[in-house]
Amino acid sequence: MQLYNTLSAKEREQLIEEAGKDRLTISFYKYAHIGNPEILRNHLFIAWNEMDVLGRIYVAYEGVNAQLSVPAENFETFKTHLDSITFLENVRLNIAVEQDNKSFLKLKVKVRNKIVADGLNDDTFDVTDKGVHVGAERFNELIEDPDTVLVDMRNHYESEIGHFKNAVTPDVDTFRDSLDIIEEDLKEHKEDKKLVMYCTGGIRCEKASAYYKHKGFKNVFQLEGGIIEYTRQVKAEGLENKFLGKNFVFDHRRGERISEDVISSCHQCGKPCDTHVNCANEACHLLFIQCEDCAKAMDNCCSTECQDVHALPYEEQKRLRKGKHASNKIFKKGRSEVLKYKK
């Protein structure tokens, strides 16, 4: 039985172009107690492959996390299938603010230990015992309350290009880094402050809300559906938008514009810019912010060293990077010393 991709990204891209049909970029998550993630993983792959679903889906004992793209004509079939799975019935689907038919080019359904890595090893922590979900209107009210502490549960490279007004934006590389830092900073306010959290689509702040309740915080709230759903509600209900800049997203688009504010700078020249790119040198692949002028001058690279490598014949590039591993643990997404204007 085929439970893996048979087409390359380039082959899939060509098929999408030839089909000429609109696709919807969607994300959803659900925390639940799953007995056998492997069986669910196989079931999802078989069913969704038939519907031409593409994306990145994680299945774990604690639930499901999915970012995917589905042909618009297959959306109802996809939704019906979700509803046939008991714990996913009527799950909230976050429809992307900006659509791109090529947001995903492969279907990857993977079993993970957790759908959000948290570094925790505490059997008494119940991730389903979450905080209070609030919609955009109530969220706007809460963050104007002087007794509220608003916390961005995303990483530094996400909040750098966009965040809510007056939010605390921890300078962290991973979600797990933020948990202890925030608890330590707010430990004196477990009783008297309202702790309000947000993230991209809700999955990280939902786990964080359960964690901080577990740690004794009394008034814990999260923005339901995250920035994506907030933006939809603001537009649909004519509410004031309190988000500045872009929402970082984890697909080929790398960002959705929420407001016209540009709150970050090109990491190479310092001019206002909020466009994330990956270094064109595949041995590096550093994620950083680069303006159009620098992209042209640097051949889409982060440094002159990478520029020199990128100019070599492809086979020579492959030979140079053979046996080397360039991970996020090395490059820290934008923290490289080659970037003069990094945050």
The CATH code of the domain that includes 27 is: 3.30.70.100
3-state secondary structure of 245: strand
Q: How many structural domains are present in the chain?
A: 3
Mean local confidence (pLDDT), 202-224: 93
Pairing of strands 194-198, 132-134: unpaired
Most confident of 15-19, 128-132, 146-150, 170-174: 146-150
Domain range holding 80? 9-111
Residues 284, 191, single domain; the answer is no
Residue finishing a domain among 76, 111, 146 = 111
Residue 263: per-residue pLDDT: 97
Q: What is the structure's pLDDT at 327?
A: 54
Closest CA to 1 of 48, 55, 46, 57: 46
Residue 243 inside a domain? The answer is no
Looking at the fold, whether 15 and 77 belong to one and the same domain comes out as: yes
Q: Could you tell me if residue 294 is inside a domain?
A: yes
Report the half-sphere exposure of 60 (CA within 13 A, side-chain side): 15
pLDDT digits (tens, 9 = 90+) for 105-160: 889 999 999 998 888 877 788 888 899 999 999 999 999 999 999 999 999 999 99
User: What is the chain's mean pLDDT, rounded?
Assistant: 90
Does 330 score more than 60 pLDDT? no
Q: What is the pLDDT of residues 45-94, one digit of tens each?
A: 999 999 999 999 999 999 999 999 999 999 999 999 999 999 999 999 98
Q: What is the mean pLDDT of residues 219-228?
A: 94
Q: Which residues are catalytic?
A: 199
Residue 177 has pLDDT above 60, yes or no: yes
Let me know if residue 265 belongs to a domain.
no
Decide if 49 is inside a domain. yes
Indicate whether 258 belongs to any domain: no
Residue 121 domain flag: no
**Helix, strand or coil, per DSSP, at residue 64:** strand
CA–CA distance, 154 with 160 (Å, rounded to integer): 10
pLDDT of 1 above 80: no
- Exposure class string for 161-199: b at 16+ Cβ within 10 A, else e: bbbbeebbbbebbebeebbeebbeebeeebeebbbbbbb
163 and 230 fall within a common domain:
yes
Q: According to the model, what pLDDT value does residue 65 have?
A: 94
Mean pLDDT over 166-183 rounds to 91
158 inside domain: yes
Strands (E), the chain: 23-31, 54-60, 63-71, 94-95, 107-111, 132-134, 148-152, 162-164, 194-198, 220-223, 243-247, 256-257, 276-278, 287-289
Instruction: Look at the block and give the residue holding tokens 């643990």.
Output: 329
For position 164, what pLDDT does the model report? 97
Residue 24 CA: distances (Å) to CA of 75, 297, 332: 8, 35, 31
Band (16; pLDDT cuts 50, 70, 90): confident
- Exposed, middle or buried: residue 91 (CB in 10 Å: 0-12, 13-18, 19+)? middle
145 inside domain: yes
